[in-house]
Structure 1
């Protein structure tokens, strides 16, 4: 199974290798540091929920935290007395349609169990999960895409799924990280037992042009990503007008921004341009609009961006963001 942190197959100039520290990411790192410094009480385990809209960098943030633990890197914490060290972690990605009777087998498969589907989910499989986490010496368990628990389920089934997570957390007392879309917060509200185990962490949000601080942060991200483009001449992506058009294009989501800039860079290289021009950015956005159906106009093809935003709005949504 591929290592969760492995980036060896990424090109050296891949923008996915670039991570930009922001106030939001630093705040989430603080929550993760608190989790690892105080992982459990006498009888209850603790966790952190890393929530936010699709493609806003939630999983990337957790990966970066683990990489910094590998390097004992605490540079983002300033003068705070924090210790980071390599952690033995378990990564479990929940699939669409995940239900209570499939979470244990998904987890056992990630643990390398020889027969992950054998036995009953609420007895044998759950007991095996607990013993393998404890006996394996795991120091963090990560459940990614936990929002799949909300998909077309009755409230009782959702509660059973979240109670299972609470049970694993308490029996193993192994720090747990839950990564998912914002709508998973509904489960935490429905189940105070799980929500009450979590270290406070502010959900991530897409960057917005209408918020001055948010837009300024987005410009900083663009400046760092441009350094990762490794092109012959500056594209000045963080200039106010270009940054605004990029933000509207990708809905303020870093994951979509990286895809967009990667597409634009390839177009520029094919044409032997030394930087990203308005022409290639417009073409890259147009190609992405096929899948970004909620993008009502191409920001690089309008003269008056403010008028277009006023007409269509700044909001941007992907199909998977909505309630299920």
Structure 2
């Protein structure tokens, strides 16, 4: 039977117009009937099924359907809708880092770029990146306010975090005289530098659990073994403001990182940086510094 153009869209619209979260089974049946004629793995059908589960508060059921729809080649405008809704679902189940990764490259020309930025700002805030969250939200707002947009963008660029002592857990991954480092490119204010992969320790979380979580969220890496090498205190200048970190430094093993070639890099999933291997003997403060200070000294005795 030939599908009448627009007929499926009309049926889907009718389902959503009558949607009631108090009758979940009826909604699922109605959507399944509206999608009659679409193959089981059709991206649009997967997206609508995911949206139903999302509407019903079943994010864990919606997430794999969104991913399958996007992997299957879901077309615009539904692709961006799926990314936004997937990110929202990930955030709601506690995976703010995953939500950031899903939304980080929505192009500014996309009609839903502003909405994507709003949901990315929420995820950044939940991921303890309050400054980046505020900047993201202000920049999105600036695009909607012609009269004051330029001023908002300028002020957004000047937003800085309040001074605080931050507790972090980082991984020193060493192999054959090389150490894994996250590269931060030079800016007008500072030169390039490397950091040991890792991130902030959350309230109620052990440092060991934090380093495992951070490597999973940022690099998709599973830590199979970890050993605390030491605890370092790092007091530094952060673009003219005081910075203060307490760093738990771990030696870790990970099959994904063990398989990474010496000339290969991994893009950080929830950011704009990447990690790769660097010869330990080539790293020093006058060339390419490695942070936190002292972690490299701990690394020299490993691997």
Based on CA coordinates, which of the two structures has the bigger radius of gyration?
A: 2
* Structure with the higher fraction of residues in strand conformation: 2
Provide the TM-score with structure 2 as the length reference.
0.29
Provide the TM-score with structure 1 as the length reference.
0.27
* Structure with the higher fraction of residues in helix conformation: 1
| Greater RCO, 1 or 2 (C-alpha within 8 Å, sep 6+) | 1
